[in-house]
Chain A
Amino acid sequence: MSEKTMNLTLKVWRQEGPHVKGRFETYAAENISPDMSFLEMLDVVNTRLEQAGEEPIAFDSDCREGICGTCGAVVNGRAHGPLSATTLCQVHMRHFNDGDTIVIEPFRAEAFPIVKDLVVDRSALDRIISAGGYISVRTGEAPEAHAVPVSKRAAEEAMDAAACIGCGACVAACPNASASLFTAAKIIQLAKLPQGNIERRRRAIAMIQQMDKEGFGSCSKHYQCEAACPKGIKVSFITAMKSEYFKALVSKD
Chain B
Amino acid sequence: MLDAKIPSGPIAEKWSRHKFEIKLVNPANRRKLSVIVVGTGLAGASAAASLSELGYRVKSFCIQDSPRRAHSIAAQGGINAAKNYQNDGDSVYRLFYDTIKGGDFRAREANVYRLAEVSENIIDQCVAQGVPFAREYSGYLSNRSFGGAQVSRTFYARGQTGQQLLLGAYGALMKEVARGNIEMFPRREMLDLVVVNNRAAGIICRNLITGEIERHAADAVVLATGGYGNVFYLSTNAKLSNATAIWRAHRRGAFFANPCFTQIHPTCIPVSGHYQSKLTLMSESLRNDGRIWVSRKKGDTRPPHEIPEEERWYYLEERYPSFGNLVPRDVASRAAKQVCDAGHGVKGGHAVYLDFRDAIRRHGRETIEEKYGNLFEMYERITGEDPYQTPMRIYPAVHYTMGGLWVDYNLMSTIPGLYVIGEANFSDHGANRLGASALMQGLADGYFILPVTIGDFFAGSGPAGIAADDAAFDDVEREVRDRITRLVECHGRRTVDEFHRELGLLLWDHCGMARNRQGLEKALRRIPEIREEYWKNVNVVGSPGTFNQVLERAGRVADYLEFAELMCLDALHREESCGGHFREEHQTEDGEAKRDDDRFCYVAAWEFTDVGAAPTLHKEALEFHEITPAQRSYK
Contact = CB atoms under 8 A, between A and B. Distances in A.
B66 A126 contact: yes
Contacts of B186: 123, 126
Interface stretch (A47-55, A98-106, A212-220, A244-252): A47-55
B493 to A, nearest CB: 8
B273 A152 contact: no
A63 B73 contact: yes
A152 B129 contact: no
Interface stretch (A6-14, A135-143, A173-181, A235-243): A135-143
Given A135-B130, A152-B135, A163 B160 contact: yes
B284 to A, nearest CB: 15
Nearest to B85: A146
Contact of A130 (B136, B140, B177): B177
Contact of B135 (A50, A94, A155): A155
A119 B240 CA distance: 15
Nearest to A135: B130
A68 interface: yes
Contacts of B599: none
A145 B141 contact: yes
Contact of B382 (A92, A152, A163, A165): A92
A196 to B, nearest CB: 5
A195 B129 contact: yes
Instruction: With a 10 A CB-CB cut-off, give which of B127, B272, B281 has the most chain A CB atoms.
Output: B127
Contacts of A159: 132, 134, 157-158, 164
A121 interface: yes
Interface string A57-89: 010111111111110000000000001001000
Contacts of B239: 61-64
B451 A155 contact: no
B124 A155 contact: no
Interface string A144-177: 1110111110011011001101100000000000
Nearest to B129: A135
A75 B69 CA distance: 22
B74 A115 contact: no
Contact of B378 (A83, A90, A123, A144): A90
Nearest to A139: B50
B539 interface: yes
Interface residues of A, number: 81
Contacts of A55: 541-542
Instruction: With a 10 A CB-CB cut-off, give which of B129, B273, B384 has the most chain A CB atoms.
Output: B129
B81 to A, nearest CB: 9
A33 interface: yes
Given A58-B547, A70-B65, A145-B127, A139 B170 contact: no
Contacts of A133: 171, 174
A151 B139 contact: yes
Contacts of B174: 126, 129-130, 133-134
B541 A56 contact: yes
Nearest to A34: B384
A40 interface: yes
Contacts of A125: 66
A142 B382 contact: no
A35 B277 contact: no
A138 B158 CA distance: 25
B121 interface: yes
A183 interface: no
A110 interface: no
A33 to B, nearest CB: 6
A149 B178 contact: no
Nearest to A64: B278
A145 B171 contact: no
A227 interface: no
Given A56-B541, A60-B65, A152 B139 contact: yes
A37 B495 CA distance: 21
B133 interface: yes
Interface string B123-158: 111011110111111111100000000000000011
Nearest to B155: A145
Given A51-B495, A54-B541, A149-B139, A195 B128 contact: yes
Given A50-B550, A63-B74, A90-B378, A150 B135 contact: yes
Contacts of B128: 135, 137, 141-143, 195
Contacts of A149: 135, 138-140
Given A37-B277, A162-B167, A68 B238 contact: yes
Contact of A123 (B65, B273, B281, B451): B65
A40 B277 contact: yes
A135 B66 contact: no
B378 A142 contact: no
Contacts of A91: 381
A134 B136 contact: no
Nearest to A66: B378
B609 interface: no
Contacts of A33: 272-273, 275
B71 interface: yes
A10 to B, nearest CB: 16
B113 interface: no
Given A35-B272, A64-B278, A70 B171 contact: no
Contacts of B620: none
A233 interface: no
A40 B69 CA distance: 20
B68 A126 contact: yes
A202 to B, nearest CB: 12
A129 B447 contact: no
B351 to A, nearest CB: 11
Given A65-B378, A90-B381, A122-B66, A40 B275 contact: yes
B163 A139 contact: no
A165 B546 contact: no
Contacts of B280: 64-65
A40 B541 contact: no
Interface string A29-44: 0000101110110011
Contacts of B447: 139-140
A35 B273 contact: yes
B550 A145 contact: no
B485 interface: no
A94 B73 contact: no
A66 B69 CA distance: 11
Nearest to B69: A68
B273 A36 contact: yes
B49 interface: yes
Interface string B277-291: 110110000000000
Contact of A142 (B46, B121, B276, B539): B121
A67 B125 CA distance: 23
Nearest to B448: A139
B433 interface: no
B130 A139 contact: no
A109 interface: no
Given A62-B238, A144-B124, A190-B130, A131 B178 contact: yes
A22 interface: no
A58 B211 CA distance: 14
A86 B130 CA distance: 26
A131 B177 CA distance: 9
A139 B125 contact: yes
B111 interface: no
Per CB-CB distance, the 7 closest pairs between chain A and chain B, nearest first, are: A149-B139, A134-B171, A142-B128, A159-B132, A142-B124, A158-B132, A139-B50
24 contacts: A50-B495, A67-B74, A67-B162, A119-B547, A121-B209, A123-B186, A126-B68, A132-B178, A134-B171, A135-B130, A139-B49, A139-B53, A139-B125, A139-B172, A140-B121, A140-B125, A141-B128, A145-B83, A145-B123, A146-B141, A156-B132, A159-B157, A162-B132, A190-B130
Given A33-B272, A125-B66, A133-B171, 12 more contacts: A35-B273, A35-B384, A40-B275, A67-B162, A115-B209, A122-B66, A123-B65, A132-B178, A141-B128, A143-B124, A149-B140, A165-B163
